Chain A
Amino acid sequence: QVQLVQSGVEVKKPGASVKVSCKASGYTFSSYGIDWVRQAPGQGLEWVGWISPNSGNTRQAPNFQGRVTMTTDTVTNTVYMELGNLRYDDTAVYYCARDGVGQWPTGKFDCWGQGTLVTVAS
């Protein structure tokens, strides 16, 4: 079955970087885009960005441009999201989610990872 499994809890200091992984299985990895969505405690969903494992093309939300890097490893079917210059308000659960088959993020996320809690604290 289609599955996305994310890496574990992270605790980082302000100004540091965090790298979260998302390992896909159960489908042809290169065929579907992967998005990252975060949710701060008690808050709503916020789109971070998207990557195409096929082309390596990425799109980022305006709030994250210059601070987020998304990469893929087609050998291990893993997507990575690195967020730099962390601030206290980056504390959130970060989800990866499978998008559609096109070369553009669609917002149709039919499978989600379990989420990774990233806490920024001094």
Chain B
Amino acid sequence: QSVLTQPPSASGTPGQRVTISCSGSSSNIGSNIVNWYQQFPGTAPKLLIYSTNQRPSGVPGRFSGSKSGTSASLAISGLQSEDEADYYCVTWDNSLNGFLVFGAGTKLTVL
């Protein structure tokens, strides 16, 4: 059971805007940056958003990240069929000796 809570699934139709949430606490999201990853079956994850709201080069502008308090969100606008994948948030948790923690992941289905 992760300390970061993501909805297990999300869905949308092509062209829609969908958001995926990642809820934590003051010891993780509330005091640290958040990164997001996209993963297709059988492949390694790909960095999608870093430092909460920055896109690596090559990632389309349709993907954006934000944070408010102890929750972070990944938004995908102009949804496309190729966006169907698993999405994970990750951040540092200050408790114990400190550690990186992933959310459990959200499977996005494009209807």
Contacts and interface: CB of A to CB of B under 8 A. Distances in A.
A46 to B, nearest CB: 6
Interface residues of B, number: 27
* Main secondary structure on B side of the interface with A: strand
Contact of A59 (B2, B39, B90, B98): B98
Given A47-B90, A47-B99, A62-B99, A109 B47 contact: yes
Contacts of B45: 37, 45, 95, 109, 112
B105 A107 contact: no
Contacts of A112: 44-46
B65 interface: no
Nearest to A113: B44
Contact of A115 (B44, B47, B88, B92): B44
Interface string A12-41: 000000000000000000000001010000
B48 to A, nearest CB: 11
Interface in B52-67: 56
Nearest to B98: A59
A107 B44 contact: no
A25 B27 CA distance: 35
A35 B35 contact: no
